[in-house]
Amino acid sequence: MHKAQVHNWPDYIGWSVGLLIVVGVIYWLMRQGWNWRRTLQSDLPALPAVPSETGTPILESSGRYHGSTTAGNWLDRVVAHGLGARSLAELMLTERGLLARRPGAEDLWLPAEDLTGARTDSGIAGKVVPAGLLVVSWRLHGTELDSGFRLDHPDEHAAWVTAVAGLADRTTATRTTKTEGVTP
């Protein structure tokens, strides 16, 4: 009587090793792409430093930071200066700007004069969230960027959109009034 072979161990081990090599090569290529993108974006100016006094809170929430993109292009992820790293985030909006405290990543400070608006959207930087994201638009030394946040309570997104848009409008009006008052 001939016993059927249950396992062909050499083939099993060979396929497993081959699969691990393929996964390793894909990971290496993804890492090279990330580094290439960081090199391309190396001319992006440094992020504003978080001031010692951020001001009186208008809104506070917690959630996740999903990344930043160039404004209007939700798939063009910005990875320079740690903007590509997803993380938890504690958000605080004050009259001086927006602070995103990110454990494990550099905190993100968006001064009020650099805020250009906010909206809700379904995705940013390759991340699509059916319940929506809070997307804050801002300027970094003339470069328009969008940063996406998913608050722990998505029903708060509308209040954030209104508050950020109001702050951006006030700072734009103040800046316009100051420049109109200057005589050449």
Tell me, what CATH number does 64's domain have?
2.30.29.30
Does residue 14 sit within a domain? no
More confident of the two residues 59 and 84: 59
Given this model, what pLDDT does residue 101 score? 95
> Which domain range does residue 113 map to?
57-179
Residue 26 in domain = no
Q: Please report whether residue 12 resides in a domain.
A: no
Say if 68 falls within a structural domain. yes
- Strand-pairing partners, residue 87, are 65
- Looking at the chain, the whole-number percentage of residues with pLDDT higher than 70 is 92
Residue 150 belongs to a domain: yes
Domain assignment of residue 28, yes or no? no
In the structure, what pLDDT confidence band is assigned to residue 167 with cuts at 50, 70 and 90?
very high
Averaged pLDDT score across all residues of the chain: 87
- 5-36 pLDDT, tens digit each: 677 888 889 999 999 999 999 999 998 887 88
Does residue 47 lie in a domain region?
Answer: no
pLDDT per residue over 92-151, tens digit each?
Answer: 999 999 999 999 889 999 999 999 999 999 888 778 888 889 999 999 988 999 999 999
User: What is the distance between the alpha carbons of residues 16 and 5, in angstroms, rounded to a whole number?
Assistant: 19
The number of folded domains in the chain is 1
Write the single-letter amino acid at 44: L
pLDDT of 29 reads 93
Tell how many helices (H) and how many strands (E) occur in the chain: 2, 8
Structural domain includes residue 87: yes
**Across the strands, what pairs with 116?**
none
